[in-house]
């Protein structure tokens, strides 16, 4: 891992490694807390509110209302055990794996086992991993577009403040922030996919490794829609930051030294504006990797966000827990990455 520019290699690298280890340990603690909170919301709070184990289990017996069957299901799902036993079983699955009864045979779910869906009986982790490429393709592709489009628009607007471009760009940006994705998404599908047949219909996804061109073709509409929403914010943020920075003394000094305008704007102006943008970018990307819920739902993309919505709709706790853990992990990792990148962008920041 590269440290900040300049300092002696070994010392800086050690500091960086120590920092990363410390942050990762903190992440483990945080994930533990997140899992207890989510587990508590689903299992403990309903019990406090008076729901019996059978009441909880009644959601997982299909359409039947047979009381004996419901009770058997409650026992089978472990709802009749005390809360700490239930949580212990979940934690044990994560650490050493678990066994699951398929009927004629038993299946071993290796660690880390996030459990099996209460509804479909499928193991959660393979399903999550299966959906991860969809969400990553969507989030990373859109993030690249909005970062470049948003920042470029912001910079241009700032250096041409008050121009027609500035006004038009900020107007469009306002529309981007204001229009919900389920509106722009469905509208663009109706126009570009079903009307003009330029883009792929909803629900299309081809893995990158199968065919990169089809992969991009399938995702271009979701990318643009999603980045439209985000670039708007980034453009406004960049514009405001640039306007403030470009008025600083050191910019005047740089200009006085006779530096080319592009160097002044990009190296001296934009660089310091980027720090807060990077912070937001890390958070946004982390959140999206944990599931771009609205975009995936609108475009019927089988990603983690859609998976989360379906899980919540069905009260499918193991799935919800799995998604929450993955989402939390991504946010933690994205933040860590951003903190490390600060040092690259801004030499004033020291990691330790």
Partner 1 sequence: MGLTACGGGNATTNNNSNNNSNATATINAAIGKVFAPSTKKGGTLRLANSGDWDSLDPADTYYGYSWDFIRLYGRSLVMFAPKPGSAGLQLVPDLAQSLGVPSDNAKTWTYKLRPGLKYEDGSPITSKDVKYDVERSLDKDTFVNGPTYFNDWLDVQGYTSPYKDSSADKLGLKAIETPDDTTIVFHLKQSFGGFDYFAMLPATIPVPQAKDTGIKYKEHVISSGPYMFQSNNLGKDFTLVRNPKWDPSTDPNRTALPDKITVQLNVNADDIDNRLLSGDLDVAIEGTGLGTAAQGRVLADQNLKAHTDLASLARTWFAVINSDVAPLDNIDCRKAIEYATDHEGYQRAYGGSVGGDIATSLLPPQIPGYQKSDEYNFLGKPNGDTDMAKQELTKCGKPNGFEIGVSYRAERPKEKATAESLQQALARVNIKLDIKPFPLADYAKLYAGKPDFAKSNNLGIMIYGWGADWPDGFGFMQQIVDSRVIRAAGGNTNLGIKSPVVDGLVDQAMAATDTAKRNQLWGQVDKAVMDTAMALPGVWSKTLLYRPDTVNNVYVNDGLGGFYDYAWMGVKS
What residue ranges bind partner 1 (CB under 8 A)? Answer: 51, 55, 58-67, 69-70, 72-73, 76, 101-105, 119-122, 127, 186, 189-190, 193-195, 201-203, 297-300, 302, 306-307, 310, 315
CB of 166 to partner 1, least distance (A): 36
CB of 101 to partner 1, least distance (A): 8
- What are the angstrom distances between the C-alpha of 67 and each of 63, 64, 71, 72, 108? 12, 9, 6, 9, 30
Nearer to partner 1, 71 or 239 (CB): 71
- How far apart CA 232 and CA 249 sit, in angstroms, is 29
CB of 209 to partner 1, least distance (A): 16
Nearer to partner 1, 10 or 106 (CB): 106
Q: Residue 122 class from Cβ within 10 Å (0-12 exposed, 13-18 middle, 19+ buried)?
A: middle
Q: Which residues contact 29 (CB under 8 A, 6 or more apart)?
A: none
Nearer to partner 1, 282 or 322 (CB): 322
CB of 127 to partner 1, least distance (A): 7
Quickly list H helices, 189-263. Answer: 212-246, 249-256, 261-263
- How far apart CA 16 and CA 39 sit, in angstroms, is 34
- How far apart CA 142 and CA 116 sit, in angstroms, is 32
Nearer to partner 1, 142 or 277 (CB): 142
Nearer to partner 1, 101 or 211 (CB): 101
- How far apart CA 70 and CA 61 sit, in angstroms, is 6
C-beta separation of 241 from 276 below 8 A: yes
CB of 152 to partner 1, least distance (A): 32
Nearer to partner 1, 122 or 335 (CB): 122
Residue 8: left (phi > 0), alpha (psi -120 to 50), or beta? beta
CB of 66 to partner 1, least distance (A): 6
């Amino acid at each position: 891992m590269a440290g900040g520019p300049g300092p002696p290699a070994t010392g800086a690298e050690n500091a960086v490694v120590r920092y990363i280890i410390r942050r990762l340990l903190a992440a483990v603690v945080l994930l533990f807390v997140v899992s207890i909170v989510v587990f508590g919301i689903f299992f403990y709070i309903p019990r406090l509110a008076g729901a019996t184990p059978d009441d909880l289990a009644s959601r997982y017996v299909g359409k039947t209302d047979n009381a004996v069957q419901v009770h058997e299901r409650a026992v089978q799902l472990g709802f009749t055990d005390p809360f700490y036993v239930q949580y212990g079983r979940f934690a044990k699955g994560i650490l050493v794996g678990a066994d699951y009864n398929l009927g004629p045979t038993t299946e071993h779910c290796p660690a880390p086992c996030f459990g099996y869906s209460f509804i479909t009986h499928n193991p959660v982790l393979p399903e999550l991993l299966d959906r991860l490429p969809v969400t990553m393709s969507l989030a990373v592709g859109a993030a690249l577009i909005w970062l470049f489009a948003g920042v470029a628009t912001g910079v241009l607007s700032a250096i041409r403040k008050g121009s027609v471009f500035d006004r038009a760009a900020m107007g469009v940006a306002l529309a981007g922030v204001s229009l919900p994705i389920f509106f722009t998404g469905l509208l663009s599908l109706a126009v570009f996919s079903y009307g003009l047949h330029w883009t792929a219909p909803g629900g299309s996804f081809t893995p990158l490794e199968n065919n990169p061109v089809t992969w991009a073709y399938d995702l271009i509409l979701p990318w643009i829609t999603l980045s439209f929403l985000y670039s708007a914010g980034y453009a406004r943020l960049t514009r405001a930051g640039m306007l403030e920075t470009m008025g600083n003394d050191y910019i005047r000094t740089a200009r006085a030294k006779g530096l080319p305008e592009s160097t002044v704007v990009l190296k001296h102006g934009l660089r310091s504006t980027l720090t807060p943008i990077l912070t937001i970018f890390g958070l946004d990307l982390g959140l999206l990797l944990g599931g771009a819920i609205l975009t995936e739902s609108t475009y019927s993309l089988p990603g983690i966000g859609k998976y989360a919505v379906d899980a919540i709709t069905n009260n499918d706790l193991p799935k919800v827990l799995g998604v929450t853990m993955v989402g939390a992990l991504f946010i933690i990792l994205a933040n860590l990455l951003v903190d490390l990148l600060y040092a690259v962008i801004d030499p004033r920041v020291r990691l330790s």
